[in-house]
């Protein structure tokens, strides 16, 4: 069976109307979308349109989500996903929830100096560093009006293990957390863990009762903290709103509300600040750093981060098991020149396997000391070392693996090129994260001889040296499988020693061994930064940790 169509009727309906409506719609869209600043465009009918007041010289589209009124617009490089610190462990969620919650202790903006926040004073340490007693302030309250008590603190520190959340490794050294009274908590540790005060205690305290009532809602819809801002509403990938909590117990912030919006694309994020559609962006692409810095009306707040980028060798198998081969590879190129060329102001070359600020916090030798120990660019020495090694010949291929990150891949390419120039073969493989991770964790010389990774680090050297070098973490957070009993003992000794001076000495020695045996080629520490509209925002401070960069909870931040 076939079906006939009434062609005459269709003709009447389509052609003329289609053409006419096409012209009309196109014209309307074109005219309607132009900014009122354009003389030929019709302004919107509403006289209250803020755009109508714009100065023609202003390039901004400042009549939509643009900076206006009491709301600060913050553009993030990655979308945040959850609001419960017990569960959340991504830095971009932290950029929001650090305004909603108060920590038991908090770092001062821009450094690693720890100060009590919900705690009344620094903890009392007993039992040779295995017991910490924390007294709480009595005045802090959660956004629902209930006081912050020892029960809330205990829940915050025990829930990650009880619920096996991703934050479990942060607190699993706690043997018990007991309530001494309503405002005092006693922590007993399974072993002496020196970084407990600097790393573990500065946790954000959740409202135990509200959280236990409905953990899922607490994480996604109704987080209740005791911080200067309270959560309003969020749509994942679109926005998250917080507003000032008027009954905040401590010195309040001065911005009435903050809207966080993600823009993952670097160019799009930079365009937003150049177009003045947002008050600030974080995650400044190195290539755009100088241009943004030179732009009138835009300033960059920056501080060295606790991050650390490095190359690690396969120390267990293959040609790089020979320390001379590792030293030769370090000599055959200049990491310092690479970092300076690629990053300029946006990162600092380092020859330490720990962030300089973190090293400084416990009194380790400074960055200059270890920079003096760096393997200088010296192709002749590199060639001599390689020629003299039995572990490698000119037919040996050095396999370098890197995650999908251009900067790290290019660093690998530089090493491969330089090795090629002195007659040794090397190749770089750019791998997806999952494949990359399983490859470097294997420690198999058929998979790699060098891998490059980054580490977000933290406020204590143990976070770097134990996680990135100790044999307990072979196949997990380290894949170099470096063997040196004395070295591993020193790492444990440092984490179980309570005196900073002793720890600093131990870490200095550990760092020197890392350099001498060339386990890592340290790369750089990048800057945590935020570009902001200097005519509209004042008092903004960058912070060392991405989670709190910039410090939006700080009372100095003001919208002009």
Partner 1 sequence: MSLLRYTVYRLLQAIPVMFGIAVVTFLMVNLAPGDPVDYMISEELASEELIASIEARYGLDEPLWRQFLNYLGFSWFLGLLGVPGFADAPPGLLQGDLGLSMYYDRPVSELMLTRIPPTLMLVLSAYAFALTLAIPLGVVAANRRNKPTDHISRIIALFGVSTPSFWIGIMLIVIFGVWLGILPTGRMVYPWRDPAFYGYGNHLELWYQTLRHLFLPVVALGTLQMAVIMRVERSSMIESLQSEYVQLARAYGVSERTILRKHAFRPSQLPVITLIGLNLTTSLGGAVLIETVFAINGMGRLIVQSIQTLDYQLILGTTIVLGFVFVIGVIITDLAYAYIDPRVTYGEEA
Interatomic CA distance for residues 524 and 407, integer angstroms: 11
What three-state secondary structure class fits 220?
helix
Residue with structure tokens 């196109």? 26
Interatomic CA distance for residues 224 and 211, integer angstroms: 8
Q: Give the shortest CB-285-to-partner 1 separation in angstroms.
A: 14
Interatomic CA distance for residues 84 and 96, integer angstroms: 11
Q: Give the shortest CB-245-to-partner 1 separation in angstroms.
A: 21
Residue (146 or 456) nearer to partner 1, CB: 456
Contacts 24+ apart (CB under 8 A), 246-251: 247/141, 249/137, 249/139, 249/140, 249/141, 250/102, 250/117, 250/140, 251/555
Residue (29 or 180) nearer to partner 1, CB: 29
Q: Determine contact, residues 299/465, Cβ cutoff 8 Å.
A: no
Residue (385 or 453) nearer to partner 1, CB: 453
Contacts 24+ apart (CB under 8 A), 410-416: 410/338, 410/342, 411/311, 411/335, 411/338, 411/452, 411/523, 412/311, 412/450, 412/452, 414/333, 414/338, 415/311, 415/329, 415/332, 415/333, 415/450
Q: Give the shortest CB-264-to-partner 1 separation in angstroms.
A: 6
Q: Give the shortest CB-546-to-partner 1 separation in angstroms.
A: 12
Residue (3 or 368) nearer to partner 1, CB: 3
Residue (5 or 294) nearer to partner 1, CB: 5
Q: Determine contact, residues 215/224, Cβ cutoff 8 Å.
A: no
Residue (121 or 264) nearer to partner 1, CB: 264
- How many other CB atoms are there within 10 angstroms of residue 94's CB atom? 21
Q: Determine contact, residues 333/475, Cβ cutoff 8 Å.
A: no
- Strand-pairing partners, residue 123, are none
Q: Give the shortest CB-417-to-partner 1 separation in angstroms.
A: 26
Residue (472 or 499) nearer to partner 1, CB: 472
Which residues are CB-neighbours of 437 under 8 A, at least 6 positions away? none
Q: Give the shortest CB-400-to-partner 1 separation in angstroms.
A: 17
Q: Give the shortest CB-271-to-partner 1 separation in angstroms.
A: 4
Residue (265 or 393) nearer to partner 1, CB: 265
Residue (133 or 168) nearer to partner 1, CB: 168
Q: How far is CA 62 from the centre of its chain?
A: 30
Q: Give the shortest CB-183-to-partner 1 separation in angstroms.
A: 30
Q: Give the shortest CB-194-to-partner 1 separation in angstroms.
A: 17
């Amino acid at each position: 069976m076939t079906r006939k169509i009434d062609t005459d009727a269709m003709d009447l309906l389509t052609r003329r109307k289609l053409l006419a409506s096409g012209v009309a719609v196109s014209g309307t869209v074109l005219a309607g979308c132009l900014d009122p600043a354009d003389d030929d465009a019709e302004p919107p009918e509403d006289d209250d349109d803020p755009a109508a007041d714009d100065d023609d010289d202003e390039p901004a589209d400042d009549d939509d989500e643009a900076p206006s009124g009491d709301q600060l617009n913050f553009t993030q490089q990655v979308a945040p996903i959850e609001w419960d610190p017990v569960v959340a462990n991504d830095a971009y969620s932290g950029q929001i929830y650090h305004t909603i919650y108060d920590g038991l202790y908090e770092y001062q903006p821009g450094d690693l100096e720890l100060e009590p926040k919900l705690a009344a004073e620094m903890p009392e340490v007993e039992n040779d560093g295995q017991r910490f007693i924390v007294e709480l302030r009595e005045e802090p309250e959660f956004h629902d009006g209930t006081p912050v008590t020892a029960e809330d603190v205990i829940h915050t520190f025990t829930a990650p293990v009880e619920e096996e959340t991703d934050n479990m490794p942060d607190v699993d050294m706690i043997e018990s957390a007991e309530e001494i009274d309503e405002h005092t908590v006693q922590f007993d540790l399974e072993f002496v863990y020196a970084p407990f005060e600097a790393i573990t205690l500065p946790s954000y305290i959740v409202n135990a009762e509200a959280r236990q009532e409905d953990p899922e809602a607490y994480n996604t819809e109704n987080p209740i903290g005791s911080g200067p801002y309270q959560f309003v509403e969020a749509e994942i990938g679109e926005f998250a709103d917080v507003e000032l909590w008027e009954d905040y117990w401590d010195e309040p912030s001065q911005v009435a509300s903050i809207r966080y919006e993600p823009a993952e694309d670097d160019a799009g994020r930079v365009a937003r600040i150049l177009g003045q559609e947002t008050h600030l962006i974080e995650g400044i692409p190195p290539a755009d750093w100088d241009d943004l810095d030179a732009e009138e009306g835009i300033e960059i707040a920056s501080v060295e981060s606790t991050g650390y980028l490095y190359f690690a060798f396969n120390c267990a198998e293959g040609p790089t098991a020979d320390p001379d081969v590792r030293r030769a590879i370090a000599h055959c190129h200049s990491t310092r020149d690479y970092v300076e060329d690629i990053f300029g102001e946006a990162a600092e070359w380092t020859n330490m396997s720990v962030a300089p600020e973190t090293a400084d916090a416990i009194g380790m030798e400074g960055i200059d000391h270890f920079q003096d120990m760096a393997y200088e660019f010296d192709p002749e020495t590199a060639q001599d070392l390689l020629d003299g090694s039995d572990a490698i010949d000119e037919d040996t291929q050095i396999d370098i693996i890197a995650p999908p990150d251009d900067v790290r891949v290019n660093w690998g390419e530089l090493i491969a090129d330089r090795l090629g120039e002195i007659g040794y073969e090397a190749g770089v493989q750019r791998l997806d994260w999952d494949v990359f991770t399983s490859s470097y964790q294997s420690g198999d010389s058929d998979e790699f001889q060098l891998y490059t990774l980054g580490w977000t680090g933290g406020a204590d050297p143990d976070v770097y040296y134990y996680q990135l070098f100790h044999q307990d973490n072979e196949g997990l957070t380290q894949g170099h499988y470096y063997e040196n009993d004395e070295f591993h003992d020193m790492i444990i000794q440092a984490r179980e020693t309570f005196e900073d001076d002793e720890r600093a000495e131990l870490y200095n020695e550990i760092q020197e061994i890392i350099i001498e045996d060339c386990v890592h080629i340290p790369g750089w520490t990048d800057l945590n930064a935020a570009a902001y509209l200097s005519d509209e925002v004042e008092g903004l401070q960058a912070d060392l940790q991405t989670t709190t960069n910039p410090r939006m909870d700080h009372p100095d931040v003001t919208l002009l």
